[in-house]
């Protein structure tokens, strides 16, 4: 992608964008109205390259010019482009909307021959499924930031010309409002943007509205996190076909959308996996030197990633295997191949992690992925790949195709860091790799989100997944979505199916069953649903199903022979035209043939700027540079401490304490730990009992007593510590009852009691005080 700076001598015809979101349960419909005005004395062609969610189904595009309303049609892309060019050549007004060849989350909108003094309103509509986050929130993101996408060396296809300005200089306004409805109460809606207070529309709180606060600065994407009460309720929506469509076609038949939330037995979930190969792939391109957000410029993407790797490595189970790769224009790895996790290998890895800077240039992610996949898998250690990137990658489709090709050998967990991360890349890698995607934006901390995904990775892999239907006589189901390849505890599994009704079955019921094997035991999730179509659902479900099929066919097309390639392309075009949903091979085209008079005069092109995310640490105006920030402080080999020379603590005390933990899960009772807890070496030496167990208990008490607000970050490593304590000799548990009592507090997570224990243990450092508490 080529970015250029906007000269403000050029007038920008786009004046405002109004975005209205409607959320029904986990499906979102966004209608955006773009208002243009030509204040120049010549006709304009306004070109706007902007981001959209990568999995969105663009299903409507129209233009209003004066009293004339023009609805665009979906046509084969080359045909649409030729019609647009012909219309402009003949003096007609024309409008073209097309998906870029680079990535499915970038679109180009052209408003052609807007006459002097004339205004136009463009209406753009898309539908999308809301992804479930690891904390059960549903995430909607209206991308506002379009950062430069690195064009890989030797990559094919033209780059997209994008005009960018810093967020503070965007010359048009944005308004945003949302209406949310669900069968279940809405507990809260959060955002990294400034929102007006949530307004409930009814007493049971199943409908609500919310608006973006005034003066949006375009310095971040507009993100909503929607939380429902009892979110894990399975559901099925049956939508009637389009009356004008041919029966037997996708749009002519009913379509059902099934949402299942498999629940795993507690006996399986109580013990996390103790095996696995964990491969961490870290982006070290120049853009990783950017600040995570403008409110804390000292925390860069790369420094947050280093802290996250510390938590990940400390949380891994003994006996697993791991390796760490990093990439930019080239790639590096800490070990030639994955090594067994031990104190020695963990320490060696952390020493290298601490040196990581955003100094490897571009964003060539394809080569390290190929190298990782070329490594033989380790028997009985399922591979779990964690990818950290700010998503500024140009060859998105090549990357996701590679992940999909190797889906049988691993699970891929992806993390989009910072504003403007490519949703097509981050979501695509996780979806095609059978894992889970997370986005870290605004004031989000990376660590809790990554640790939530590690919990998923430590869950047993679900195998032998199958879907079966029990339907009335005369009704059959054809599954339209890709086969389910991954199931996680509490996460949604989504199925689309076309229903063929040979008889009226509106009052009948159907059943869908997902069967799978978990830790060697057969399990299943089942949902009964009514076949009567839902009211007022429009064609939303059909369009989402069409989008799912289109993306699947496009992916197949890229891996087919030339002959099959043309056949697959033809199928995509037919499905796109039939459903009215955009694709890589089609475009929306509208020509104003009713104006009567041609718009004469030389045509002047005006590029509409998009904001990118500059910060003091990574960019000057219109320039994307590497950060000069350097990480300060070390969480390795803290020097020996004495009462006269207290330690220099890290700004984050949790990470300081975690840095002292051993790979086995324990802490050493030494001056480093004492200093972290505010004690001197002399007090440590007099402590009773002077044991590693006691040190580990004190560390756990401190975490439970003072850091429950960030428990997601340290819970896994505390479980490892608790398991280590339990594995020690039984006589340890009889030392004045202190350990037994402490473990009880930890098990019950009694925050207040833990604080009391901690304070009193500081006063005397005596197990007696713990027992007395």
Domain endpoint, select from 533, 554, 578: 578
Check residue 559 and give its pLDDT.
67
* Weakest-pLDDT range from 94-108, 279-293, 633-647: 633-647
**Neighbour count for residue 560 (Cβ, 10 Å):** 14
Token pair belonging to 68: 């004339």
What pLDDT is recorded for position 291? 82
Residue 8 and residue 156 in one domain? yes
For residues 75 and 16, membership in a common domain is answered with: yes
Cα–Cα distance for residue pair 546/255, rounded to 1 Å: 10
Under the banding of pLDDT at 50, 70 and 90, the label for residue 1 is low
* Packed helices 751-764 and 692-706: angle between N→C axes, nearest 10 degrees: 130
Residues 73 and 45 in one domain: yes
521-530 sheet: strands from edge to edge:
462-470, 509-518, 521-530
What percent of the chain is modeled with pLDDT above 90?
Answer: 50
Q: Do 276 and 321 touch, CB atoms closer than 8 A?
A: yes
What is the number of alpha carbons within 13 Å of residue 397 lying toward its C-beta?
A: 20
Phi and psi dihedrals of 708, rounded to 5?
Answer: -65, -25
Question: Above 70 in pLDDT, residue 474?
Answer: yes
On the CB side of 245, CA atoms within 13 Å amount to: 18
pLDDT value at position 622?
Answer: 38
Q: Above 80 in pLDDT, residue 392?
A: no
In this structure, the answer to whether residues 467 and 497 fall within a common structural domain is: yes
pLDDT tens by residue, 274-294: 789 999 999 999 889 888 776
Residues 211 and 71 in one domain: yes
pLDDT level of residue 730 (50, 70, 90 thresholds): very low
**Strand ranges inside 328-426, DSSP E:** 331-333, 339-340, 383-389, 410-417
Banded pLDDT at 681 (limits 50, 70, 90): low
pLDDT band at 307 (very low <50, low <70, confident <90, very high): very high
Look at residues 263, 259, 255, 233 and name the one whose alpha carbon lies nearest to residue 512: 259
Q: Is the same domain home to 520 and 585?
A: no
Enumerate helices (H) and strands (E) in the chain, giving the number of each: 18, 37
CA distances to 12, 386, 450, 697 from 713, rounded to whole Å, are 46, 16, 8, 18
Measuring CA to CA, which residue among 63, 50, 116, 66 is closest to residue 94?
A: 63
User: Does residue 602 form part of some domain?
Assistant: no
Residue 197, pLDDT above cutoff 50? yes
Structure-token pair, residue 99 = 């998906």
Cα–Cα distance list, 260 to 121, 434, 476, 551 (Å): 40, 16, 20, 22
The 10s digit of each residue's pLDDT in 13-72 is: 999 999 999 999 999 999 999 999 999 999 999 999 998 998 899 999 999 998 899 999
pLDDT in tens, 103-135: 888 999 999 999 999 999 999 999 999 988 878
**Domain presence at residue 318:** yes
- Bridge pairing between strands 93-99 and 106-114: antiparallel
The answer to whether residue 730 sits within a structural domain is: yes
**370 lies in the same domain as 487:** no
> What's the domain range around 759?
653-772
- Asked if 635 and 659 count as a contact pair (C-beta separation under 8 A), the reply is yes
- Is the residue at 680 inside a domain? yes
pLDDT the model gives residue 566: 85
Please give the Cα distance from 394 to 387 (Å, whole number).
Answer: 16
CA-CA distance, 522 to 490, in Å (whole number)? 18
CA 736 to chain centre: 49
* pLDDT for 393 beyond 50: yes
Q: Percent of the chain beyond pLDDT 70? A: 81
Half-sphere exposure of 489 (CA within 13 A, CB side): 19
Quickly list DSSP for 439-486: EE-TT--HHHHHHHHHHHHHSPPEEEEEEEEE--TTEEEEE-SPPP--
Same domain, 33 and 172: yes
Instruction: Look up tokens 């219309």; give the residue.
Output: 87
Domain stops at, among 533, 553, 578:
578
Chain-centroid distance of CA 413 in Å reads: 9
Q: Say whether 719 sits in a helix, a strand or coil.
A: helix
Mean pLDDT score across all residues of the chain: 82
Helix (H) / strand (E) containing 301: helix 301-315
Is 160 in the same domain as 293?
no
CATH of the domain at 309: 3.40.50.410
Using an 8 Å Cβ cutoff, are 477 and 469 in contact?
yes
Helix (H) / strand (E) containing 363: none
Tell me: do 282 and 260 sit in the same domain: no
- Band (pLDDT 50/70/90 cuts) for residue 771 is very low
Contact between 770 and 757 under an 8 Å Cβ cutoff? The reply is yes
Residue 371 covered by a domain: yes
Using the 8-state DSSP alphabet, how is residue 381 labeled?
A: B
pLDDT in tens, 342-381: 999 999 999 999 999 999 988 889 999 999 999 999 998 9
146 assigned to some structural domain: yes
Name residue, tokens 């004492």: 674
Written as six digits, the tokens of 90 are 């003949």
- State the burial class of residue 279 (Cβ atoms within 10 Å of its Cβ: 0-12, 13-18, 19+): buried
Residue 440 counted as domain residue: no
Instruction: Give the chain's domain count.
Output: 4
Are residues 506 and 269 in contact, defined by beta-carbon separation less than 8 angstroms?
A: no
Quick one: pLDDT at residue 390? 86
- Per DSSP, the residues of 508-539 read -EEEEEEEEEETTEEEEEEEEEE-SPPTT-TT
pLDDT of residue 359: 92
| 601 part of a folded domain | no
CATH at residue 66: 2.60.40
For residues 147 and 39, membership in a common domain is answered with yes
For 399-421, what is the mean pLDDT?
A: 91
Residues 247, 332 share a domain: no
Question: Is the confidence at residue 583, as pLDDT, over 90?
Answer: yes
pLDDT at 688: 55
If phi > 0 it is left, if psi is from -120 to 50 it is alpha, else beta; for residue 656 that is alpha
Q: Would you say 523 and 516 are in contact if contact means Cβ atoms under 8 Å apart?
A: yes
Domain's final residue, options 566, 592, 618: 592
Average pLDDT value for residue range 465-474: 92
Task: Indicate the pairing of strand 14-24 with strand 68-71.
Answer: unpaired
């Amino acid at each position: 992608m080529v970015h250029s700076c906007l000269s403000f001598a050029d007038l920008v015809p786009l004046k405002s964008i109004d975005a209205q979101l409607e959320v029904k349960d986990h499906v979102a419909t966004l209608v955006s109205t773009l208002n243009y005005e030509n204040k120049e004395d010549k006709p304009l062609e306004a070109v706007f390259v902007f981001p959209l969610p990568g999995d969105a189904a663009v299903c409507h595009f129209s233009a209003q010019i004066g009293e004339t309303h023009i609805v665009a049609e979906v046509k084969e892309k080359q045909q649409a482009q030729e019609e647009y060019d012909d219309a402009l050549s003949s003096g007609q007004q024309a409008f073209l909307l097309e998906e870029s060849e680079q990535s499915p989350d970038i679109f180009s909108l052209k408003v052609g021959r807007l006459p002097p003094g004339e205004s136009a309103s463009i209406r753009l509509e898309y539908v999308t499924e809301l992804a479930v986050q690891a904390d059960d929130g549903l995430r909607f993101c209206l991308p506002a930031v379009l950062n430069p996408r690195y064009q890989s060396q030797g990559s094919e296809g033209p780059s997209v010309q994008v005009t960018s300005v810093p967020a503070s200089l965007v010359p048009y306004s944005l308004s945003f409002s949302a209406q949310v409805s669900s069968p279940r109460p809405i507990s809260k809606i959060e955002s990294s943007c400034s929102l007006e207070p949530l307004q409930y529309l009814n007493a049971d709180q199943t409908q609500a509205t919310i608006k973006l606060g005034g003066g949006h600065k375009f310095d971040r994407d507009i993100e909503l996190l929607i939380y429902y009460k009892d979110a894990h309720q399975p559901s099925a929506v049956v939508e009637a076909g389009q009356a004008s469509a041919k029966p037997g076609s996708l749009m002519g038949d009913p379509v059902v959308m099934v949402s299942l939330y498999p629940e795993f037995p507690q006996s399986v979930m109580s013990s996390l996996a103790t095996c696995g190969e964990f491969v961490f792939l870290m982006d070290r391109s120049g853009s990783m030197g950017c600040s995570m957000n403008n409110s804390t410029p000292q925390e860069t993407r790369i420094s947050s990633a280093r802290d996250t790797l510390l938590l990940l490595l400390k949380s891994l189970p003994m006996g697993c295997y791991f390796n760490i790769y990093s990439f930019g224009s080239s790639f590096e790895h800490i070990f030639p191949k994955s090594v067994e996790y031990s104190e020695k290998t963990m320490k060696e890895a952390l020493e290298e992690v601490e040196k990581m800077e955003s100094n490897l240039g571009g964003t060539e992610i394809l080569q390290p992925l190929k190298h990782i996949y070329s490594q033989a898998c380790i028997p009985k250690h399922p591979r779990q790949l964690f990818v950290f990137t700010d998503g500024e990658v140009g060859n998105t489709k090549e990357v996701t195709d590679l992940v999909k090709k190797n889906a049988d050998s691993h699970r891929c967990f992806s993390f989009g860091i910072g504003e403007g991360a490519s949703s097509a890349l981050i979501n695509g890698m996780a979806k095609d790799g059978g894992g889970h995607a997370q986005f870290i934006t605004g004031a989000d901390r990376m660590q809790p989100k990554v640790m939530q995904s590690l919990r998923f990775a430590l869950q047993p892999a679900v195998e032998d997944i199958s879907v079966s239907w029990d339907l009335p006589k005369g009704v059959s189901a054809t599954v339209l979505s890709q086969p389910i390849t991954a199931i996680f505890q509490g996460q949604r599994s989504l199925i689309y199916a076309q229903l063929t009704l040979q008889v009226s079955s509106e009052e009948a019921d159907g059943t869908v069953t997902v069967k799978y094997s978990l830790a060697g035991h057969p399990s299943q999730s089942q949902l009964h649903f009514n076949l009567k179509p839902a009211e007022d659902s429009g064609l939303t479900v059909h369009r989402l199903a069409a989008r799912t099929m289109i993306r699947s066919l496009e992916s197949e097309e890229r891996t087919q022979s030339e002959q099959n390639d043309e056949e697959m392309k033809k199928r995509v075009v037919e499905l796109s035209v039939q459903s009215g949903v955009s694709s890589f091979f089609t475009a929306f085209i509208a020509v104003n043939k009713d104006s009567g008079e041609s718009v004469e005069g030389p045509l002047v092109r005006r590029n509409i700027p998009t904001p990118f995310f500059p910060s003091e640490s990574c960019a000057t105006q219109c320039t994307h540079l590497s950060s000069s920030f350097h990480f300060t402080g070390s969480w390795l080999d803290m020097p020996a401490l004495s009462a006269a020379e207290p330690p220099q603590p890290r700004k984050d005390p949790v990470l300081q304490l975690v840095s002292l933990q051993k790979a086995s899960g324990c802490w050493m009772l030494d001056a480093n730990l004492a200093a972290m807890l505010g004690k001197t070496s002399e007090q440590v030496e007099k402590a009773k009992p002077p044991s590693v167990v006691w040190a580990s208990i004190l560390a756990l008490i401190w975490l439970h007593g003072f850091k429950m607000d960030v428990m997601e970050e340290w819970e896994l490593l505390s479980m490892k510590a608790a398991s280590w304590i339990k594995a020690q000799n039984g006589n340890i548990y009889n030392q004045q009852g202190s350990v037994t009592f402490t473990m009880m507090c930890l098990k019950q997570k009694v925050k207040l009691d833990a604080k009391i224990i901690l304070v009193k243990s500081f006063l005397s450092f005596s197990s007696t005080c713990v027992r007395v508490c």
